Structure 1
Amino acid sequence: MAKNSFQYSSLPEEETMPHHFNATNTTSSSMHLQELPANCYALEFQEPFEGFAEFEDKASAADSSHNHRQAEKRRRDRINGQLARLRRLIPKSEKMDKAALLERVVEQVKDLKRKASEISKIFTIPSEIDDITIECHRKENHPNNNNNNNNNNNSNSNIMFMKATLCCEDRPDLIPELIRELKDLNLTVIGADIGCLGGRMKSILLLYYKLDSNNDGVVCNVSAIKQSLMGVLTRIISWSSASTSSFRVTSKRQRFFFSS
């Protein structure tokens, strides 16, 4: 290799090359380089030693195996942590194996779900899903031989009772807004049951709708009133859902009294 360096250094540089250096000299120099022994360049083009590729593969396999072991260890630690948390929640579960522990947890969850369903039938507890239900009951006039009750029957024939259930995100101005919208629909609140839990609200409203005195003989359009009420409640739910991103109820709900 030193011989090659000597031959390259003996060649004239481009800047110091004399003007009389012609093509014949260049050709002779090139021929002189071509006549160098081929083994001078053996080290420059020699392939890496055979054991290097095998060593690199073994190192890569060792790294992959180490990463896999670490990931598996983290997974086992996470599972064991969750199982330890379940053991603290389930009484007398210190000596249970994993299968028995999970079976006991499933039974416990089913029992809690059943109890929650029973409690929701007694108390007004909001759910996690926005929901609206409306039930309409119109009191019709039935023939009666007693003339003293004719006026009462005629007045009751123009009254429709409604039960509206609303479940949505809670916010401070929800109840006043709901009352205002109901008044715009000429709906009167005769009863209300409201429950709030975890930023959610469930409201069960008993309403009635009465036609004006000049509308005697006009059939009450139940579907139109129901559709209007559904639109109002849907709009209120959409406003509540949009406002929860920037506001969250943290205090107890103020008590609002419905005006008669």
Structure 2
Amino acid sequence: MQPENSSGMSEIYRILTHTGMPRANGPEIPTFFPTSFCASDMSGITELPQARALAAKNHKEAEKRRRERIKGHLDELRRLLPCNSKTDKASLLAKVVQRVRDLKQQTSDIAGSDIFPSETDEISVFSDEFSSDGRSIFKASVCCEDRSDLLPDLIETLNSLHLRTLKAEMAMVGGRVRNVLVVAGDRDFNGDDCTDLLRDALKALVERSDSSDRCKRQRIFDRRTMK
């Protein structure tokens, strides 16, 4: 004889093991009973906020370093330009733009001038103007190999001709030098003859320089040969 509740237990067992539950006047409603749960299924959900937080932290640190670099460059510009530490960024950048324009103009002026030395020896002398007291003004250019006693010899040459230096420019590149001089003579030192005299004196100076260099190179060669 079965217990009175055996039919009830059978119904519960059928509900638990069946793929669906009975529904009055309608189809069965499927029910699912998961048998296992994997913790890794939630890893993507937990890692996403952490990745966002790390990216936000890295961006904040990179932005901080960028601001520090900008501040360092601005401070350096304030030291280079005639302005104080309280100069605002807009005024500072305006000064920088103006300074760059000035330097660009100076570079253009230098590039267009004949101050740089050439690869060959050159001597030019001409006179086309006079001072207020009637003295002739000469412009002379001397390009040659550089040597230690060139400038003293040049000064001695001008003094021997009683010429007074009004302006002097010098440029040196790769062991060669060019001297551009503006000189004035006394009242008697004028005319084409004086121009030729100054040119010949400067030519002798350059030739003496070349001779000195040749002797120096010959001495170096002799010492190496003797070794």
Q: TM-score surpassing 0.5?
A: no
Scaled by the length of structure 2, what TM-score is found? 0.44
More RCO (CA 8 Å, sep 6+): 1
Scaled by the length of structure 1, what TM-score is found? 0.38
